[in-house]
Amino acid sequence: MAPRQKLGSEKFKSTVDLFDNLEAVDQVQVKLKAEKLIRHSQEWHRELSEQIVEANRTLARLANNKIHSNDKEITALRTRISALQAKRSKIEADLNAESEWLKAYLKQANKAEHQARPHLPYDYHQEREKKLLPVRHKNRDFFLADMFDYTLKDDGASMEVPIFTLATKTDLSIWKWVSKDKNKSIEIYPSVKGRATQFDKDVLIYVVSQITEALNRGRDDAKNRTVRFTVYDYLVTTNRGVGGDDYKRLQEAFERLAGTRITTDIRTGGERVKEGFGIIESWRTVEKSREDERMIAVEVTLSRWLFNAVQAFEVLTIHSDYFRLRKPLERRLYELARKHCGHQAQWSIGLELLREKSGSRSTLYEFRRMVKSITQTSTLPEYRMALSDDDKVTFYTRDNSRSLRGIANR
User: What is d(CA 229, CA 209) in angstroms, rounded to the nearest whole number?
Assistant: 12
Residue 401 lies in a domain: yes
Which segments within 198-324 are labelled E, that is strand? 226-230, 261-264, 277-278, 280-288, 295-302, 315-317
In the chain, how many domains are there?
3
Which segments within 37-193 are labelled E, that is strand? 153-155, 175-178, 185-189
User: What is d(CA 108, CA 120) in angstroms, rounded to the nearest whole number?
Assistant: 20
User: What is d(CA 216, CA 92) in angstroms, rounded to the nearest whole number?
Assistant: 14
Residue 7 lies in a domain: no
Cβ proximity of 346 and 292 under 8 Å: no
Whether residue 204 sits in one domain with residue 63 = no
Residue 347: which CATH number? 1.10.10.10
Domain boundary among 302, 318, 334: 318
Domain boundary among 318, 353, 383: 318
Whether residue 48 sits in one domain with residue 81 = yes
User: What is d(CA 220, CA 197) in angstroms, rounded to the nearest whole number?
Assistant: 32
User: What is d(CA 343, CA 100) in angstroms, rounded to the nearest whole number?
Assistant: 36
Whether residue 224 sits in one domain with residue 366 = no
Tens place of pLDDT for every residue, the chain, 410 residues? 344 443 333 433 433 444 444 444 555 666 666 667 767 777 777 788 878 888 888 887 777 666 555 778 888 888 888 888 888 888 877 766 666 666 666 666 666 655 555 444 445 455 666 677 776 665 554 444 444 554 678 888 788 888 999 998 999 999 998 887 888 888 999 999 999 999 999 999 999 988 888 888 888 888 889 999 999 999 988 999 988 899 999 999 999 999 999 998 887 877 776 668 899 999 999 888 888 778 999 999 999 888 888 888 888 888 889 999 999 999 999 999 999 987 788 999 999 999 999 999 999 999 999 999 999 999 999 999 999 999 999 999 987 665 555 555 55
Whether residue 198 sits in one domain with residue 76 = no
Whether residue 293 sits in one domain with residue 180 = yes
How far is Cα of residue 350 from the mean position of the Cα atoms in its chain?
25
Whether residue 126 sits in one domain with residue 211 = no
* Adjacency order of strands within the sheet including 277-278: 175-178, 185-189, 261-264, 277-278
Whether residue 248 sits in one domain with residue 269 = yes
Residue 287 lies in a domain: yes
Whether residue 166 sits in one domain with residue 39 = no
CB atoms closer than 10 angstroms to residue 368? 17
C-alpha closest to that of 170 among 54, 72, 229, 256: 256
Tallying the residues shown for the chain, one arrives at: 410
Residue 145 lies in a domain: no
C-alpha closest to that of 42 among 78, 7, 77: 7
Whether residue 274 sits in one domain with residue 403 = no
Residue 144 lies in a domain: no
Give the gyration radius of the chain's Cα atoms. 23
Q: What is the pLDDT of residue 311?
A: 86
Residue 246 lies in a domain: yes
Residue 271 lies in a domain: yes
- Residue range(s) defining the domain that contains residue 362: 326-410
Whether residue 357 sits in one domain with residue 340 = yes
Whether residue 84 sits in one domain with residue 180 = no
> What are phi and psi for residue 321, nearest 5 degrees?
-70, -5
Cβ proximity of 45 and 57 under 8 Å: no
Whether residue 305 sits in one domain with residue 177 = yes
Q: What is the pLDDT of residue 257?
A: 96
Cβ proximity of 391 and 375 under 8 Å: no
Domain boundary among 268, 296, 318: 318
**Model pTM?**
0.75
Vertex 167, ends 351 and 356: CA angle to 5°?
Answer: 25
